[in-house]
A and B are shown apart, each in its own frame.
Chain A
């Protein structure tokens, strides 16, 4: 069938023939079904069958169905490319056999693409990629003719007929190709070593043992572009000289790759492109596949060569390097799949072409596997030195389910993690190494807030421990010892000494191991210790896993994540049984403000809820509210156990949630508590910043009253001017919880005119009934909850045109999603990527804002893009407004703090984060005054910590980092696991809301409480994670 090519002329003639065949074929509509391993797993073969069947049944003669390789968008498999002679190329994604008749009808017959099913090739996901290695993924990998039509084997022809071997090496060196297996060693240099080595038999070997979990770029090229590797190896063999045989070591876990590669070899041999007298020259070279047998260590150079020799894959000492003594002790070059695949294009198109992508020291492109917690997971190809943030957010589309990005693991088990503060890092060998990671072969595993970095380090050590060959002691014995320590830590038994030992072991194993596996095994540990030390410390000191992953430390992730560790599964279970009163009592044992918190909390528990993996998280907050509202309406009383009265007096500055909670707990302990509050009302932000339609004053007052009922003295309208004087007056301890009520100013010219308010001042005036003047056209500057609260309040005061100006993008806004949506539903405009530069005024009253449009540049240390004003008059515009409300940030007013208590540069009070102790004995501080603006539940948690610390201080005991909650009667919680039926997918129950026409017109509370049957239904969705037995090795 195929005629042997005995000259370059023959090759060119075959190319012509193949090209004209393809050109003929292209006169038809080409339907290319992508049949990589993932495509087949997704059912692509069934899709192919469906196309064949449908085209046949519709008797279409102008359609050709072919197969192609994997083109990368794994998340959207199966994909099908359709190339229409007049309409061009489109790609359908997630194609099912059921959709095929539609596509045939609409597109192939009627000539109209089915837009909803297409991949958006104009999106950054595709536009930011630079395809070179993957350029042949859209042709049939089983057809050597198609490869030749695309200039396949032209580079080999050029090399062996027009270039000297050394010239070939020089070209590769000039191009700057660096090893793509991970180490980045210059390929031309390596070939030079082998060429100069003494010996008349040398080898070229391809390392296709891609063992890094999370990396499969090589598999895609082996399956999709095998000839590029064969051609590359042949060119390499010629350049080095005395090379007649080569091996492609392909791991056994890639059966399709082995099969495709063997097919390609057979085809190449048939055409005489492998074997003796290639293309009529003296050059002789052949290549065979050596399948691996399941050993990660065989990706290491010397272990791989030992494996080909039929031995155990034990690495050996180097020197001697394989360049001098490699396979069978002969000079050998071992290069990665992608390195080989780059070679033909470098020879065919030249070194300058290759260097035109990438950066000076890292030239060319690289394929990466972007996987893990990422929206567009798949195979991508970008120029080296592309910033990491661009890859994760622009190409990858960010994190699914709006979770927060945490880190990218790069380099597999030999690599490290790059956290959020380094998103501008260009992905190249040197920059990544400087951050304590390695580039490795190209697996990029994205992790979010629900991944525990200690657990990740443990995972990688388990892997390297299993794959260690056992030859050298540091690796064989050192890695299990490190793992032992990590296990201790994730089980809550770790100590700070363990961390010191862990670091020491890591250094030792890294420097004393024989081969790369052992030398790099500690990297994940060292890297996570460097960037996430606080997570290790949380596990050790607080017995807390911030990501709620390490099961031995907790029962249910929701409870573990709640700042006050509220027994969420407990009260949800009680609600399910209709025991609302008990649920209320259970909640009250940890939370004095359930009606309020049940309305305004930003529910970190729901972010961790495991039900979200089935359908959606449980409405933990709304269920809490229901139980509390029910108790209130039915007069259920909660009487906390009280201890006998004591002598000591405690002063609390600030009657916000932190102060009132501390007061509550200390009163229970029997202490005499006085709360000083500068404002005419108690409640802090709950009373004077959160508007009525979210938290009715009546509800808040009822909860505050129940605290005061315990005998707490409240002094309103009383501003404290000096902490020392309180101690002199006889208060034995003081808790400073004055919150953060001072709004930050924008700092732009013209700010100090009438009609420009600070949001917190505005909301406070409104809450106190003072009716601040608001016009018809309002601009609110900022993107947090205060901005939304101010905007929605302005609407209720009669403003007709309200704009929220935010300098970043909508998804960066810190406000709760539900609130942002509610604002939009009320007709508020959210103008993103806009910032005011000047306040315009007339006669001392504001008339407008001069605004500038922003663009987003590189990433800052918070992982968000830095907004930067666009230059040019076309980007500035005036916004006519009669009211401006600034909501860009708050800090505490610490003017009353004189000596002894430290105040940090940002204006917050310095206190120990766990004991809340300040430098002054007997003085404690917590809540927004210490952390800066946070949420109510964190303030409640601070109040409980303060109470524990003050109690212990007054009793002369050392301070503790754990909150003590004594004296409560345990409440029995039903121990029934959910049924099969209950676990099945169903929608989250939504609470009812008042009529939309009622909303904007009044301050009536918008969201209503669950009705009892709704609550029971929602509660029955709970998976009762607290009942699971925490299994750990």
Chain B
């Protein structure tokens, strides 16, 4: 097992620890899961939690150490919507576009966010503070329409209320 260059793993967001520390934790995740049938997905999940996204050098490391072809690793990474190869903002705003939220006006909230932040779903604001995502159903349909920012779930949102929520993160 060749020891990858620490330069290969570049943490995007500040405050996530030094490159060496992160590299160590990714290696630990690989070791923990090595030999198990579905090892790749838990390893990718750990790596993304540590780094915030999955840059190509990380995928290459994982491919090499788990002995899985890079094309397969790439295929799995791009298949699942939770994985991203592009850095995301400090706060990820997930607008629920599930049926109940949609029926109760979820689209208008998404439009408001797009206008306020000047980004489309899937993009990040220039200052790296907010990323906007559309999520299909957070499972809180009784509170529709719902927006979640990290683990906080905001319920019964409206175009006016979501603006207030945004300003509380400023």
Query: Do A and B truly interact?
Result: yes
Q: Hey, which chain A residues are within 8 Å of B63, CB to CB?
A: none
Asked whether, in the complex, the Cβ of B140 is within 8 Å of the Cβ of A216, the reply is yes
Give the residue of A41, A252, A307, A312 whose beta carbon is less than 8 angstroms from that of B154: A41
**Residue A213 interfacial (CB < 8 Å):** yes
Tell me which residues from 42 to 99 in chain B have a Cβ below 8 Å from any Cβ of chain A: 42, 44-45, 72, 75-76, 79-83, 97-99
Q: List the A side residues contacting B44 at CB < 8 Å.
A: 293
B154 touches A377 (CB 8 A): no
CA distance A309 to B33 in the complex (A): 12
Interfacial chain A residues near B152, Cβ < 8 Å: 41
- In contact, A253 and B135 (Cβ under 8 angstroms): yes
Within 8 A of B (CB), among A462-476: 463, 466-467, 469
Contact A41 B141 (CB under 8 A): no
Chain A residues, Cβ within 8 Å of B99: 213-214, 371-372, 409, 412, 443, 445, 459-460
Bound complex: CA A516 to CA B35 (Å) = 32
Binary B-proximity of A209-227 (CB < 8 A = 1, otherwise 0): 0111111100100000000
Is B125 an interface residue, CB under 8 A from the partner?
no
Q: A41-B143, A252-B82, A253-B138 are in contact. Are A308 and B37 (CB under 8 A)?
A: yes
Interface check B113, CB cutoff 8 A: no
Interfacial chain A residues near B80, Cβ < 8 Å: 292-295, 313
CB within 8 Å for A307 and B100 given contacts A41-B153, A212-B137, A293-B81:
no
Say whether A451 faces chain B, with CB atoms less than 8 Å apart.
Answer: yes
Quick check: A312 and B79 within 8 Å, CB to CB?
A: yes
Point out the residue from A73, A291, A371, A447 that lies within 8 Å of B141, measured CB to CB: A371
Indicate if the CB atoms of B143 and A312 lie closer than 8 Å: no
CB-CB under 8 A from A73, the residues of chain B are 142
Chain B: residues with Cβ within 8 Å of the partner, total of: 44
Q: Which of A300-358 contact B (CB under 8 A)?
A: 307-313, 327-328
Do B141 and A310 touch (CB < 8 A)? no
Given contacts A213-B100, A312-B79, A459-B99, contact A255 B143 (CB under 8 A): no
B142 touches A378 (CB 8 A): yes
- Whether B102 and A37, one on each chain, are in contact in the complex, defined by CB atoms closer than 8 angstroms, is no
Q: Does A656 contact B (CB under 8 A)?
A: no
Cβ-defined contact, A214 with B100, below 8 A: yes
- Count of chain A residues with Cβ under 8 Å from any Cβ of B? 61
Interface string of A362-375 (1 = CB under 8 A from B): 00000001011100
Decide: B75 and A312 in contact? CB cutoff 8 A: yes
Given the complex of chains A and B, what is the CA–CA distance between A290 and B42 in angstroms?
Answer: 8
Q: What per-residue 1/0 map shows which CB atoms of B84-127 lie under 8 Å from chain A?
A: 00000000000001111111110000010000000000000000
The answer on a CB contact under 8 Å between A459 and B100 is: no
- Asked if B103 and A296 sit within 8 Å, CB to CB, the answer is no
Q: Flag if A371 contacts B81 (CB, 8 Å).
A: no
Q: How far is it, in angstroms, between the C-alpha of A252 and the C-alpha of B135 when the chains are bound?
A: 12
Residue in B42, B72, B105, B136 whose Cβ sees the most chain A Cβ within 10 Å: B136
B81, A295: Cβ atoms under 8 Å? yes
Is the pair B79, A38 in contact by a Cβ cutoff of 8 Å? no
Choose among B37, B103, B139, B158 the residue that contacts A310 (Cβ–Cβ < 8 A). Answer: B37
Residue B10 is within 8 A (CB to CB) of chain A in the complex:
no
Partner of A371, one of B105, B136, B144: B144
| B132 close to chain A: CB less than 8 A | no
Q: Is B40 an interface residue (CB 8 A)?
A: yes
Q: Are A307 and B135 interface neighbours, CB within 8 A?
A: no
| A75 and B81 in contact, given A214-B137, A308-B37, A310-B39 (Cβ under 8 angstroms) | no
Q: Are B136 and A379 in contact (CB under 8 A)?
A: no
Residue A254, interface by CB 8 Å: yes
Which residues of the partner chain A approach B100 to less than 8 Å between Cβ atoms? 213-214, 371-372, 377, 445
Report B42 CB to chain A, min CB distance, Å. Answer: 8
A383 within 8 A of B: no
Contact A40 B139 (CB under 8 A): no
Q: Are A219 and B103 in contact (CB under 8 A)?
A: no
Complex contact A613–B105 (CB within 8 A): yes
Distance between B32 CB and nearest chain A CB, rounded to angstroms: 13
Residue in A closest to B111 when the chains form the complex, CB atoms: A1031
Q: Are B38 and A294 in contact (CB under 8 A)?
A: no
Known: A74-B143, A213-B136, A369-B141. 15 other contacts (CB 8 A): A37-B140, A38-B142, A38-B143, A41-B153, A213-B97, A219-B139, A295-B80, A309-B37, A310-B37, A310-B76, A313-B79, A371-B141, A377-B142, A379-B142, A459-B102
Which of B's residues lie within 8 Å of A, judged by CB?
Answer: 37-42, 44-45, 72, 75-76, 79-83, 97-105, 111, 135-144, 146, 151-155, 158, 160
7 contacts between A and B (CB under 8 A): A75-B142, A213-B98, A213-B99, A216-B137, A310-B38, A312-B76, A372-B104
Taking beta carbons and an 8 Å cutoff, which residues of A are in contact with B? Answer: 37-38, 40-42, 73-75, 77, 210-216, 219, 252-255, 290-296, 307-313, 327-328, 369, 371-373, 377-379, 409, 412, 443, 445, 447, 451, 456, 459-460, 463, 466-467, 469, 613-614, 983, 1031
